[in-house]
A and B are shown apart, each in its own frame.
Chain A
Amino acid sequence: MVEALFQPLNIFLLGLGGGFLIPLLYRIAKPLPALAFITALCGIAAVSGVNFWALRNGQPAIEVYTAGATPPISINLRFGAWEGFFTFCVNIAALLGAWQLWPRLRDSYAALLLYLILVMGINGMVMTRDLFNLFVFLEIVSIATYGLLGLERGPAALAASFKYIMATVIASSFLLLGSVLLYHVTGTLNIDELIARRELIAGPIGTTALIFILACLILELKPFPANGWGLDVYETAPAGIAALVSVGVSAGVFFALLKLLPLFENHLSLIAVAGGATFLFSNLVGLKQTNVQRMLGYSSIAQMGLMMLALALLQKQGAAASMPLVIGGLFANHLFAKAGLFWLAGAVQRTEVAGWSTIAGRPFVLLVFALLLVAIAGLPPFPGFWAKWELVMQLSGAQLYVWIALILLGSLLEAAYMFGWFKQATRAMPGDLPVSFTARDLLPAAGGAVLLAIGSYHAAQLAGAASLWLFSPLIIGIVLYALDWLPGRVKCCLMLLAVLGVGNWLISETTGMSGLFATVLLGGGLVVASAALYRQDSRPGYYPLMAVLLLSIATMMRAQTSLEFFFSWELITLSSYFMIAQGRHAHPHALPFLLFSLTSAFCLLAGFALADAANGTSLLQAFRTGGTDAASAFALLALGFLIKAGAIGFHVWLPGAYAEADDDLSAMLSSVVSKVAIFGLFMVTYLAIGSQVGLELAHLMGWIGMLTTVIGAALAFRQDDVKRLLAYSSMSQLGYIITAIALMSHLGWVTALYLVANHLMVKGILFLAVAGVILRCGTRRLEELGGLARRMPVTFVVAVVALVSMSGLPPLAGFGGKWLLLSAMVDKGWYGLAAAGILATLIGLLYMFRLAHALFLAPPQAAAVHVREAPMQLLLPQIVLVGAILVLSFQPKLFMDPVSTAIDPYFASTLVWEGMSLETIYGYWNPVPVMAASIAGAGVLFLIGWTVYRLDQGRTAATGIAEFYRYYIKISQPWSAPLATRAWESIARLGTVSAEATRRVYTGDGQMYVLVALFYVLFLLSANFIAGHAG
């Protein structure tokens, strides 16, 4: 009895019976139709859910026969695992969508029945096994859509609907003609029989008929460029209806393609090309959109293109095992994220992207918004992330590199416009009219986000990466978010405790290099993070994100596979992005940070895909043992890490993000988060050793590092903003580390690790010291500060310690680092690099002196006259770090022994430096003369500069150290054009210009749309014809 109640056929009985009853009930009593509608819709969802659950637990697929006969005599339906998944997802989305549309549906019983039968029709398209019946269900879906589109009576909406009807009628006519012709050729309409007899589908009629059917399905999925009609409807329809068209109707059509795919074995490349072009170009044009729903339309179309592409390529590779993760993941991800965004757009009711600043002050709305965007962009932890990873891995295994590039480029474009939209929502504008919406309006979008979160874990399970430890940063983040109502300092303490406890558990089993990094970064991270206690405000969302950030660093160190590593990497990126975006003036800088981070991540993804294919395993361990030729994998991975480290050319995101983030966050970013990229470099650089090309690349990386150092230092020299100065200094210092890693020797790596530890502490101190100065003086400009040595003595002392250590003056740790680096370079014979290193050290000395002078020694300016010492909460972490510097300087063995052990597995055989302690090194390479010469060199340089400065007659201002610097900054102006910034700007402009050019195909002319659709069919026919004759 219960079984009969949940028979899949009941979906249709409920849909049709309910639909037919609604007018009757309306005559009886007005509220009855709504009741029947809700019952029927819930019933449909329940039936699909119950059966899907049973199928998941191993029940065989359910066959439904009609008319008491067996196919092909009668029509049959199938409810297998795929059908169950698709129908269940669509039905749940339909329920949420009905909630969103309820104010419109409630008033019109016709709308209720149209909606109900539409949902049933999508279920029918998924379940039917008869080609002509598929046509009937397609028409049911189409006509219901037309009717629902009629709910919106504006002229633009009517016009868009008419164009939509014209195009879809043409498309479905081809399905009709194709089915009848296929029947003529094969004598059956049953899909299973058609597949069994597919060799009969030949000759002019058979092949044309097949293309007609394919053309209908592809056209219904809105391929570029034959999709203007779809976009117009997305733009003008009510958000709830647009959501339904975007996810529901497309789901039905896509499933039809999925089930007919065996018929299209010879057309897989064609489908992939259609999908790929759609994915790329829709996302390109999306860049230029200002209308929210139209932009979502482009994204919808692009996602369907990606699914087409994935389906065709996986089928072609025979990778059926990956389909549930890739297709299922992409589908569920698109379904709930896109529908959620449409629903959110419906709730917020701002048609233009620029109007979204109105939600700036609403944390919960922003949270939902952010989650949906993260999902759409294919970022963790959502199903799209796992699906994309698996897809790229499969494509890499099949050596389809062009497709990988296309997917990653398209994804980047999509992220660009989607997060560009988010950018608007993070800053309130003066003219904003307040929005009024209730929790009720938000429910569907929030529901979509929750379902995505549930889907994440299942997707991770499919990907074989679901484990408590990997998800622990997110779990802690959620718990802390639930406590976000507590006072700021309480939250900060809770966060520190959670990170300490969970972080320790996470890194307890890490060893070697990861263990070293884990200890240093987690320890340093906790110290720097504790500085947040100086702020009293609540900082909504900040502490949960900080926990996610720090714990993700820990999981990254623990990662055993490239997937786990990449997952943690993306979480680090995302949590830092959302924290940076909270900075008061970070508005223009957060997006470049994210986009460069994503570019970096996509390089990593591609690099891992290549490396895993070359290593034959996804285990990170293989990077150490694999002697394969993996130069291209190394190049991509190194590029990814270099972008993230802010290497020269890619550094343009760095100063803005570091400078405009909250002051304590800047310290975290510069000291701790930047080291994550360095860890990545350590991990992959060993790949380069496998081949000569790889070693050349490593040499190149050495030069990139050194250039970064020199130019970073030169840029730091020119800054008037103390935080920007430190940001460029950070860039410069990371350059040393990159060069040291590129040395590929035991000595080089020891140096690199030594510099990592040194830089972490130094930058932590300096940024926190500056945070205190900004807190007390309220300005970041060098010329407005001064004389703080007396007013903030503790800050002064720790900053000087840090500066000395950073500049490489003896006796502090930086000296050892610099010295080791020079020796390692000379040892390797890289004299050019060594010379450049000395130059960079000199410039470094100059800007560091300027910093110390301007803040502490110069005569006090107005802002700095009546100030107190920085608060204890800020000073304490700095003092701890100073202690660490002193330990590192005077007891280097404590650090050097584990470092040496960690490096031994890599360079044991090519050992240049036989595990000597630092003291021995000092003794062995007598450093004092060289260092003395360096300092003397800097002194001479300074003297020459000073003389030139004094002798220049054209100089007008008074003398003084500050004036001296300003003088040189001014004369360096003409030849310091921001080349990198300009280059990236022109790339961005290229994107928008080509987007502008591309979107001209959408003229708005309905007949043109039909014409393009017809030519699309002709294109498919001719491509097939040519392929048939060529092959």
Chain B
Amino acid sequence: MKAASSLLAVLLFGAVFAGIVGGYGERESVSALAEQYLAMVPRELGAPNVVTGILITYRGFDTLGEVAVLFMVAAGVGVLLGGKDTTTASEPGREPRRPSELVGNGAEITLPLIFLFGAYVIKNGHLSAGGGFQGGAVVASGTMLLMLALPATKLNHGFLGVTESLAGVVYVGIGILGLVFAAGFLDSHILPLGEFGTLISAGAIPVISALLGVKVGAELSVIIDRFRN
């Protein structure tokens, strides 16, 4: 009975989606708004990567909210899983399993590269594909590998917590600077645009990108570490 109605629901949604796909025609040109973005981001924000420009400046309010979501998840997971360490750690007869040779050795070689790559992705967010979120995720994946390879590693939650908080506060602070020194909250024109296409350009976008990278990297690492226990 339940299986049949589940199947029916899935099939009906299949039909609804088929209707959408059927009504969909690939567009030949972008929307007027997108055209504006494509013209404005390089010219007015000085960022070659239009997506990053939109994300960090024009829809910066969304991004700030997104950061808040991640921040809350770290806190929420902390609420849920906090205080668990004592219960499981005291369980006797549970030796931490040793990682395999392959993971151990592989980690030693790739970890520096992963972190480096993360930093690269964060720093080049305004120039090429990448950005704070993506880079932060790369860094966090490095943390995960680290934990797999060296299970004994203890993350310094205090340090990470302070880092993410600071990054968040500074982010809001930069937003306020935009309110004071430029045209509005989160306006990236508080710093000079610099030379188009270079590392230090596009106003405050790289700064925010870096803050996002640090914050996301720290938060994801904390979340992953919480699940470890």
Direct interface between A and B, CB < 8 A: yes
Residue pair A1014, B31 in contact (C-beta under 8 Å): no
Please indicate which of the listed interface residues B2, B12, B33, B66 has the most CB atoms of chain A within 10 Å of its own CB. Answer: B33
- CB of A829 closer than 8 Å to a CB of B: no
Q: Which residue of B lies closest to A133 (CB)?
A: B62
Q: List 5 A-B contacts (CB under 8 A).
A: A66-B186, A113-B75, A114-B79, A187-B34, A203-B23
Of the candidate stretches B125-133, B175-183, B191-199, the one touching chain A is B175-183
Q: Is the CB of B22 within 8 A of A114?
A: no
Say whether chain B's binding surface is mostly helix, strand, loop, or mixed.
helix
Residue of A nearest to B32 (CB): A187
Which residue of A has the minimal Cβ distance to B175?
A: A13
Is A19's CB under 8 angstroms from B23's CB?
no
Tell whether, in the assembled complex, residue A1021 and residue B16 are in contact, meaning their CB atoms are under 8 Å apart. Answer: yes
Sorting the interface of chain A by its residue count into under 10, 10 to 19, 20 to 34 or 35 or more gives: 35 or more
Chain B interface residues toward A at CB < 8 A:
2, 5-6, 9, 12-13, 16, 19-20, 22-24, 31-34, 36-37, 40, 57-62, 64-66, 68-69, 71-73, 75-76, 78-80, 82, 158, 161-162, 164-166, 168-169, 171-172, 175-176, 178-179, 182-189
Question: Are B6 and A19 within 8 A (Cβ)?
Answer: no
CB distance from A830 to the nearest CB of B (A): 63
Known: A9-B185, A67-B61. A1018 touches B13 (CB 8 A): yes
Max chain B CB contacts within 10 Å: which of A21, A110, A181, A203? A110
Question: Chain A residues with Cβ under 8 A from B73's Cβ?
Answer: 143, 147
Does A961 make an interface contact (CB < 8 A)?
no
**Chain B residues with CB below 8 A from A1011, complex form:** 2, 5-6, 9
Whether a CB of chain B sits under 8 angstroms from the CB of A810 is no
Q: Are B72 and A140 in contact (CB under 8 A)?
A: yes
Tell whether A880 is near chain B: CB-to-CB under 8 Å: no
Which 10 A-B pairs give the minimum distances between C-beta atoms?
A68-B183, A147-B76, A187-B31, A20-B168, A204-B23, A68-B187, A110-B75, A24-B165, A136-B65, A68-B184
Q: With both chains docked as a complex, state the minimum distance between the C-beta of A184 and any C-beta of chain B, in angstroms.
A: 8
CA distance A1015 to B13 in the complex (A): 9
Interface residues of A in 972-1030 (CB under 8 A from B): 1007-1008, 1011, 1014-1015, 1018, 1021
Chain B nearest CB from A877 CB (Å) reads: 65
A residues whose Cβ falls under 8 Å from a Cβ of B: 9, 12-13, 16-17, 19-24, 27, 64-69, 72-75, 108, 110-111, 113-114, 117, 121, 124, 130, 132-133, 136-137, 139-140, 143-144, 146-147, 150-151, 181, 183, 187-188, 203-205, 208, 1007-1008, 1011, 1014-1015, 1018, 1021
- The interface residues of chain B lying within 8 Å CB-to-CB of A181 are 20
Besides A9-B179, A139-B65, A140-B68, 17 other CB < 8 A contacts?
Answer: A13-B175, A16-B64, A20-B171, A23-B162, A67-B187, A68-B182, A69-B57, A69-B187, A75-B58, A140-B72, A143-B76, A187-B33, A187-B34, A1007-B6, A1014-B9, A1015-B9, A1018-B9
| CA distance in complex: A387, B136 (Å) | 51
Complex Cα gap A298–B79 (Å): 28
Contacts of B66 in A (CB 8 A): 136
* Choice from A22, A143, A183, A1021 contacting B69 with Cβ under 8 Å: A143
A1008 to B65, alpha carbons, bound, how many Å? 32
The residue in A17, A68, A114, A183 that gathers the most chain B C-beta atoms within 10 A of its C-beta is A68
B24 near A67 (CB under 8 angstroms)? Answer: no
Q: How far apart are A1020's CB and chain B's nearest CB, in angstroms?
A: 11
B64 touches A20 (CB 8 A): no
Q: Which of A21, A66, A136, A183 contacts B165 (CB 8 A)?
A: A21
Which residue of A has the minimal Cβ distance to B161?
A23
Contacts of A1021 in B (CB 8 A): 16
Contact of A204 with B22 at beta-carbon distance under 8 Å, contacts A13-B172, A20-B169, A73-B40 already known: yes
User: Once bound together, how far apart are the Cα atoms of A187 and B37, in whole Å?
Assistant: 12
User: Whole-angstrom distance between the alpha carbons of A809 and B183 in the complex?
Assistant: 93
- The answer for the CA separation of A60 and B189 in the assembled complex, in Å, is 29
